[in-house]
Structure 1
Amino acid sequence: MGESTVQRVTIPAGAPRFQVFLRVLGPAYLVAVGYMDPGNWATDLAAGSSYGYALLWVVALSSLMAMVLQSLCCRLGLATGLDLAQACRRYLPERTRLPLWLLAEVAIVACDLAELVGTAIALKLLFGLPLPWGVALTVVDTLLLLALQGFGVRRLEALVISLVLLVGGCFAVELLLLQPHWPAVAQGFLPRAGSLRDGAQLYLAAGILGATVMPHNLYLHSSLVQSRQWPEQPRARHRALRYANLDSLIALSFAFLVNASILILAAGTFHGRGLPPVTDLSEAYRLLTPLLGTSLASVLFGVALLAAGQSSTLTGTLAGQVVMEGFLDLRLPDWQRRLITRGLALVPALATVLWLGDEATVALLVLSQVVLSLQLPFAVIPLVWLCGKGQAMGDLRTPRWLQGVGWGCAALIVVINLSLLLQLAGWI
């Protein structure tokens, strides 16, 4: 049996359901913050301002896929006592260990790059801090946030939930100010597979997919779900799975609403007004005030961006430790792990800002999300395969219908990524 890398929270025997739910609440929010990080903002902003509400269905589909895959992570962690990285090391051929670890690390650095750039942009918008200084400052802020881990997992979860609610509250006010045409919004949720034949839309769809279903979150959630210590009772693991799925459903539904709100805000404010597509977060910040008629819109946008960047930066460190320990059986102090990951993301971010200018940061953000999408099959396929393995899963082995849905998600991810690669190569 593996051992979770996070502290345990005890679930009292015979506790009322609501009390149990409050104690279970938390792990999925540490995962959900990665679903609303600055990389999501860049792809949703580009999609909404360029194509209106047309790609809302991609956000919805990606969110549904995320719910299925995070549910499988909960199932794997509770059934085996292993996180996804540990399970890969135990059940997959040894020759796959190093490649899978390297691919997972690339995904974590790509995600960290998006969070770093997003936080730096928010500091510039709100406080006028030059972008290179903001990029450098993110090294310090992540270490300060990591110090909170010493106060226990529950306080860390409470902080993240508070930041998530702050982001959601900011966008709720933004939509009240915008008052979008809701019938047009509803039409955006109708699938339009034909739009994916457009190379630019396909690129953004892959970015939305990579920004929503993040590879490192699959490793992280399978570890975090083990942070609850359930009493020894018959079918305790089944009960734990039900509560973990409820936690995931609520947290990821909230993340979906935030992502959809970003795209709706971009579409309703910038699309169809004779403006060129607004793909720059700084430009969106400047234009929100004159277009919505109040400076509050811009301030809320900046505050939400800063909160999103700060909350999501925690998950990269936690996921990085899970991945490194699971695949390599190697554990580093959190501050060392944070500095390694942040250092690897810092170099391309600073190089981009110093050599190409501030305007290149959005392209860097969208590219980081496409990289995440390309890494995704290498986490999803092992996850789905392991969850159907009776030897590993026992009585929590996925039922056939859920296994079929899981393979369907994996196949769709592979098809979108292959189509993207063929489009970029000029073959289709």
Structure 2
Amino acid sequence: MDSRISPLPVDQAPVVSDQPKPNGWRNPRGEPSLSGVFGSIRTKSSGSLLRKLVAFLGPGYLVAVGYMDPGNWATSLAGGSKFGYALLTVALLSNLMAIVLQSLCARLGVGAGRDLAQACRDAYPRWVSWPLWLSAEIAITATDLAEVIGTAIGLNLLFGIPLELGVIITALDVFLVLALQAFGFRWIEAFVVALLGVIAACFAIQIAMADPDWGAVIRGFAPTTQILTEPGMLYLALGIIGATVMPHNLYLHSGLVQTRGYGSSVAEKREAIKLATIDSTLALCFALTINASILILAAATFHHAGQTDVAELDQAHAFLAPLLGSTLAPTLFGVALLCCGLNSTITATLAGQIVMEGFIRFKIAPWMRRMVTRMIAIVPAVVVTIWYGEKGTGQLLILSQVVLSLQLPFAVVPLVMFTASRAKMGEFVAPRWLTAIALLIAAIIIVLNAKLVLDFVLGS
């Protein structure tokens, strides 16, 4: 060894890799996302595309859970009952936005080897990354609030448990997550997919009972300027966007794709990005089906019957039986709602872990992390439930989704900037056409949010 060169101390040693690292990051990555399951799921290096894809299926469906959580139900029910099928175009637009953004998450996670939280930490100084961390925590808390209320309402509808008690019971769902983690990450994915199947079956039966006007459904997917001019429609449209393109999902997906052991070569990573993108796209198409089903059900039953102010989940449950002439419909509604709440619990726990460890490198036991965030969500839910009753919970659900929408730019803009940077992504930089579309999506979100704030300030 050249005597002029001295070895670096261990804590300053460069990260060893099989290939050159892009030099656009301020800091080395450090420990990977979800280190306990990092690269733990084997993938297929040969065989047909279908065989390879099967090993990658899973993360997309965990992400899709966030696009059909109880908060989404509230906004879709309110939109369908008040405006009929008109907001289906917003559901479609939101889903297309989600597909593009989640593909960038997969690219960032595989190509840069960082989740979005780590990328923000490694790219920005603390005076930038710490506010972004707080924004992400606010988004997760808003998500958790929707889960608390939705799960409590589901328990109330199915078993008659009072909302106040149901809200407290939801704190115990942390043990469900811990039990599943003990069996391995594939068990978590299997549990989520099974519950998604139950939700889909419940809505398929309810839609068949409602017998909607399918011509009006198809026309509802067509774009319309009515959203910008109709009083109250923009508020609900933003709520749907906030409930569909959720900030915590961007952090979640960029971490979950790294649970696959896809190899370290450029070719292997390119294929991993492709397969992970297919996985998330298929899962989000499934999520669109569920979201559209909720809105179609509300339009075909409540709007059709002249009940245009249904925004609470318990209202929907009570009105379904007389409108559809069957006691089975409200039971299916309650079952689907409870399944959504349980599923969202799992994904919010994982997202919280990724955000906290990624931004500030602070490790905390998953059960403690879950209890802290759940307690933060339980307090406002209990206060609103006791003070305002069941009606207040529905309004709180919609408000939580608008809060999520307002947090979106703080996650979307860094994601687009990172994946468009060749210095940070190297050979895995996003193509220009994809970056252009993502920039347009970010601009749409920011403009809509600005109009929402302006309308709120002006009292319109």
Say yes or no: TM over 0.5.
yes
In the alignment, does 2:129 pair up with 1:100? no
Query: Partners of 1:419 and 1:403 in 2: how far apart?
Result: 24
Find the partner of 1:4 among 18, 26, 33.
33
Amino acid across the alignment from 1:35: Y
Query: Partners of 2:104 and 2:170 in 1: how far apart?
Result: 33
Secondary structure in 1 aligned to 2:157? Answer: helix
**1:410 corresponds to:** 442
In the alignment, does 2:324 pair up with 1:292? yes
* Residues 246, 405 of structure 2: 8 Å contact kept: yes
Secondary structure in 2 aligned to 1:120? Answer: helix
Deviation at 1:406, TM superposition (A): 0.5
* Residues 225, 244 of structure 1: 8 Å contact kept: yes
**1:320 corresponds to:** 352
Deviation at 1:396, TM superposition (A): 1.0
Query: Partners of 2:88 and 2:350 in 1: how far apart?
Result: 30
Q: Where do 1:140-155 residues align within 5 Å?
A: 140-155=172-187
In the alignment, does 2:58 pair up with 1:29? no
In the alignment, does 2:372 pair up with 1:334? no
Deviation at 1:150, TM superposition (A): 1.3
In the alignment, does 2:380 pair up with 1:351? no
| Cα deviation 1:27-57 (Å, max 9, x = unaligned) | 1111110110000000000000000001110
Secondary structure in 2 aligned to 1:235? Answer: helix
Find the partner of 1:386 among 381, 396, 418.
418
* Residues 104, 415 of structure 2: 8 Å contact kept: yes
Name the CA shift for 1:399/1:24 in 2 (closer, same or farther; >3 Å): same
Deviation at 1:156, TM superposition (A): 0.4
* Residues 46, 52 of structure 2: 8 Å contact kept: no
Query: Partners of 2:47 and 2:376 in 1: how far apart?
Result: 46
Name the CA shift for 1:263/1:10 in 2 (closer, same or farther; >3 Å): same
In the alignment, does 2:301 pair up with 1:269? yes
* Residues 132, 354 of structure 1: 8 Å contact kept: yes
Query: Partners of 1:12 and 1:25 in 2: how far apart?
Result: 12
Large movers: runs of 4+ above 6 Å: none
* Residues 77, 222 of structure 1: 8 Å contact kept: yes
Q: Where do 1:43-54 residues align within 5 Å?
A: 43-54=75-86
Query: Partners of 1:270 and 1:98 in 2: how far apart?
Result: 45
Query: Partners of 1:146 and 1:125 in 2: how far apart?
Result: 26
Amino acid across the alignment from 1:109: T
Query: Partners of 1:254 and 1:146 in 2: how far apart?
Result: 27
* Residues 173, 345 of structure 2: 8 Å contact kept: no
**2:241 corresponds to:** 209
Query: Partners of 2:177 and 2:363 in 1: how far apart?
Result: 20
Secondary structure in 1 aligned to 2:232? Answer: helix
Greater alpha carbon shift after TM alignment, 382-391 vs 4-13: 4-13
Secondary structure in 2 aligned to 1:180? Answer: coil
Name the CA shift for 1:173/1:272 in 2 (closer, same or farther; >3 Å): closer
| Cα deviation 1:322-381 (Å, max 9, x = unaligned) | 111111011100001000110100100000011111221000000000000000000000
Greater per-residue helix proportion = 1
Name the CA shift for 1:419/1:234 in 2 (closer, same or farther; >3 Å): closer
Name the CA shift for 1:11/1:21 in 2 (closer, same or farther; >3 Å): same
* Residues 146, 314 of structure 1: 8 Å contact kept: no
Deviation at 1:232, TM superposition (A): 5.0
Query: Partners of 1:381 and 1:100 in 2: how far apart?
Result: 11
Amino acid across the alignment from 2:33: S
Find the partner of 1:39 among 45, 68, 71.
71
Find the partner of 2:149 among 102, 112, 117.
117
Amino acid across the alignment from 2:170: T
Amino acid across the alignment from 2:423: Q
Deviation at 1:233, TM superposition (A): 5.0
Deviation at 1:22, TM superposition (A): 1.4
| Cα deviation 1:285-340 (Å, max 9, x = unaligned) | 11111111111111110000000110011111111111111110111000010001
Amino acid across the alignment from 1:318: L
Greater alpha carbon shift after TM alignment, 188-197 vs 294-303: 188-197
* Residues 44, 51 of structure 2: 8 Å contact kept: no
Amino acid across the alignment from 2:434: L
| Cα deviation 1:67-116 (Å, max 9, x = unaligned) | 00000000001111000010111112331111000000000000000011
The structure having more radius of gyration, on CA atoms, is 2
**1:72 corresponds to:** 104
Amino acid across the alignment from 1:161: V
**2:458 corresponds to:** 426
Find the partner of 1:166 among 189, 198, 220.
198
Find the partner of 2:115 among 83, 101, 110.
83
The TM-score with structure 2 as length reference comes to 0.91
Amino acid across the alignment from 1:395: E
Query: Partners of 2:127 and 2:271 in 1: how far apart?
Result: 36
Secondary structure in 1 aligned to 2:363? Answer: coil
Amino acid across the alignment from 2:121: R
In the alignment, does 2:270 pair up with 1:238? yes
Name the CA shift for 1:199/1:276 in 2 (closer, same or farther; >3 Å): closer
Query: Partners of 2:41 and 2:53 in 1: how far apart?
Result: 12
Amino acid across the alignment from 1:72: L
* Residues 143, 338 of structure 1: 8 Å contact kept: no
Q: What are the ranges of 5 or more consecutive residues in structure 1 without an aligned counterpart? A: none
What percentage of residue pairs aligned between the two structures are identical?
52
Tell me the number of residue pairs that the alignment of Structure 1 and Structure 2 aligns. Answer: 428
Deviation at 1:17, TM superposition (A): 3.0
* Residues 199, 423 of structure 1: 8 Å contact kept: no
In the alignment, does 2:408 pair up with 1:376? yes
**2:23 corresponds to:** none
Query: Partners of 1:57 and 1:17 in 2: how far apart?
Result: 33
Query: Partners of 1:68 and 1:139 in 2: how far apart?
Result: 34
